[in-house]
Structure 1
């Protein structure tokens, strides 16, 4: 019996062989696309390398406005460039430095301006002296009557007068000169000395002291008008002006003049 008869089938080719034969044979890819991609990568790499090389070269160049190798040791605009690339700067003889002076300024406080305006009337004085006042008071029947209140009121008019050592008129007072000048306007003649004034006054207690009486420092270093309530009116010291202030020491005693 033949092979065909055993299987009961007609003669057919093997199905697996038929399936393989039916499939199309893939074509071999052409090499043109990979070649184009490789060529693009090569061009891009070359461009990147060229840019990087130019950048590095630019940074490495010295910042010369001109080629230093073409000038040698010549001076260009005040700059000397040597062959080895070193730059040296020097001002030419035609350059003249401008003269600069230090600016100055000063600020004056409002308190200083106020004191200055207040004392301006006393910057110069051409009126009578203490001695003139004493003489005029003695010869003038209409002289102002003496009182401690009147003396103190007159003394207040000289607030702001500058302290001047040896001063005894409204252009400048020292302490005893101030007392002497004010009392002279009421006919009371006093020496220009704290110690001498202390020697001729009438001692009074602090409880009896009134504005217009005189406060004497125990060491005869200073005297002042008593202003009441522990205050004094006086010509303090160089650089200061006549003012009212609190008495700062208890080493004092009180004197009265004119009564």
Structure 2
């Protein structure tokens, strides 16, 4: 029995050992063939030592700030205008007798003028530039600032406000000319023109100049 058992193990082990494949040489052969091709079929280009090589440059760009764009727009608007300035109007007002009704009539002449930041001529108005230009025609000098216009003059109760008074909104950040019935005429903001529209906020107050 002791002799028979080893013999069985040997019999079982033999087929397993015999079935193990021999190590493959395909990978090594492929590597050798690649190296041969690289050494025999390689191409070479001779370059002279004095060749000038163009150096590629990176595209450049400049950024334009919003303030610069606004200044450019204002310069363009002023370049197209040859009429009287605010200073000239104050020196020789075409309407020397102040009248709120006449203020409304003059203001309506500028419906359609484009909004231009910093503008105070019919070539382009911002909100306070518009009211400044209209009032200058009556010899009334207003600062070119909505907040300063709103803090000057004489404060008027809403019940006593008349067409031609200034209506101030946005905590002093915007100003227009009151037309009565919750309507006003103003230079709204970039992209729009001087127009007649409703007073858009209940937070507003009235100021009267020229009295």
TM-score by length of 1: 0.50
Structure 1 runs, 4 residues or longer, greater than 3 Å off: none
Instruction: Pick 1 or 2: higher relative contact order, CA cutoff 8 A, min separation 6.
Output: 2
Does 2:82 align with 1:126?
yes
Of 169, 181, 186, 1:229 maps to 181
Give CA deviations for 1:123-182 in whole Å, capped at 9, x if unaligned. 932111111100113xxxx85421000111000000000000000000000000000000
Q: What is the aligned residue count? A: 134
User: Match of 1:207, SS?
Assistant: helix
* Contact 2:95 2:137 (8 Å CA) reproduced: no
1:239 is matched with: 191
How many Å separate the matches in 1 of 2:95 and 2:207? 24
Of 143, 159, 170, 2:122 maps to 170
1:199 offset after TM fit, Å?
Answer: 2.1
User: Match of 1:223, SS?
Assistant: strand
User: Match of 1:197, SS?
Assistant: helix
| Rg larger in structure | 1
RMSD: 1.7
1:146 is matched with: 98
**CA 1:245 to 1:144, structure 2 compared with 1: closer, same or farther past 3 Å?**
same
Gaps of 5+ in 1: 1-121
How many Å separate the matches in 1 of 2:116 and 2:95? 29
What pairs up with 1:101-120 in 2 under 5 angstroms? none
How many Å separate the matches in 1 of 2:108 and 2:79? 17
1:252 is matched with: 204
1:220 offset after TM fit, Å?
Answer: 1.1
How many Å separate the matches in 1 of 2:158 and 2:111? 24
**CA 1:167 to 1:231, structure 2 compared with 1: closer, same or farther past 3 Å?**
same
How many Å separate the matches in 2 of 1:241 and 1:161? 5
Gaps of 5+ in 2: 1-77
Of 92, 100, 103, 1:136 maps to 92
TM-score by length of 2: 0.61
